[in-house]
A and B are shown apart, each in its own frame.
Chain A
Amino acid sequence: ETGVTQTPRHLVMGMTNKKSLKCEQHLGHNAMYWYKQSAKKPLELMFVYNFKEQTENNSVPSRFSPECPNSSHLFLHLHTLQPEDSALYLCASSQDYPTGRNTDTQYFGPGTRLTVL
């Protein structure tokens, strides 16, 4: 099942590196999300893009910079990360209706496992 794809699947980077995570959804959805999952912690919502507009920035440090060029693609640009940023980064998408109709199932990509040295 390849509704939501993420690359790379694994990434090791130093604290001074700059890298980007990529997410692509093939489901025709209009909302995309970045989540962080650290060991033994719940998924934490980082960013939400709704109709390509960023609608949520959940107090995420500026060393994480999202980009959503269109409704199918989402990037997370990383720079000067810290070792505590090592985690699984998950992208998700959903079809969201402005009227609030209850079609809010989110579909997740496989994630990028990030290690910061």
Chain B
Amino acid sequence: RKEVEQDPGPFNVPEGATVAFNCTYSNSASQSFFWYRQDCRKEPKLLMSVYSSGNEDGRFTAQLNRASQYISLLIRDSKLSDSATYLCVVNMRSGGYNKLIFGAGTRLAVHP
């Protein structure tokens, strides 16, 4: 079983749509969680951290369910500029340092 699993997509949605991505992780000792965004042929950039209580940043909402080992990202009112690959990332602190485990990413394509 992969350590971090995501639906690869692509999710093709019209502008203005609401879209949700899910991610599951295998190690219950995982300590912190993130969503990164990666544009084509560019480096990953932090979109948001995911807190136990859930958190919102503008059109983006992240949720964490530790019992089910499940993380979600909701994007409301999609924009063309949201087209990218969204990476679910889990931090396994090990041996005194941080070790990020990346999912393979979910591709989002927003069309006019």
Contacts and interface: CB of A to CB of B under 8 A. Distances in A.
B40 to A, nearest CB: 11
Contacts of B91: 104
Contacts of A40: 104
Nearest to B45: A108
B96 A100 contact: yes
Interface residues of B, number: 25
Nearest to A45: B99
A66 interface: no
Contact of B99 (A56, A98, A107): A56
Contacts of A111: 42-43
Interface string A30-68: 010000000011110100101000011000000000000
Interface in B30-46: 31-32, 34, 41-46
B102 interface: yes
B44 A43 contact: yes
A96 B100 CA distance: 13
Contacts of B93: 100, 104
Top-8 shortest CB links A-B = A108-B43, A43-B102, A104-B98, A42-B104, A42-B102, A50-B97, A55-B97, A110-B43
Interface of B: 4, 31-32, 34, 41-46, 49, 87, 91, 93, 95-105
